[in-house]
Amino acid sequence: MPFDEGLAERIRAIVGDEPGMREQKMFGGIAFMLRGNMAAGIIGSELMVRVGPDAYVDALALPHVRPMDVTGRPMRGFVLVGVEGIATRAALRKWLARGLGFAGTLPAK
């Protein structure tokens, strides 16, 4: 399944100037990597966010969020945010900040 290129452009507009940011094809979509660590990505038209294990349960309690599961086994620390949850620039920015915040705590690869 191809990823939503429009969403990718929206993400690039927000994180494109972030030092250490790069893109990588992954999970049949695209991932946005901060210093070699995944921060966020796109699967289909949904935003994948790496919130980390400590913030995982709280993130799942938010509207339009579900566990990240591409293999039949949920990946703890990663969530998928549906289209409704990232409809505005402010909402997308907030989710990207969560992913960048967690990825920023990890050592560079």
Each residue's pLDDT tens digit, 27-78? 778 999 999 999 999 999 999 999 999 999 999 999 999 999 877 888 899 9
> How far is residue 25's CA from residue 84's CA, in Å, rounded to a whole number?
24
Closest CA to 35 of 81, 102, 93, 80: 102
Whole-model pTM? 0.93
The DSSP output letter for 76 is: T
> What is the CB neighbour count within 10 angstroms for residue 1?
8
Percent of the chain with pLDDT over 70: 99
Q: Which CB contacts under 8 angstroms, 24+ apart, belong to 53-58?
A: 53/77, 55/98, 55/102
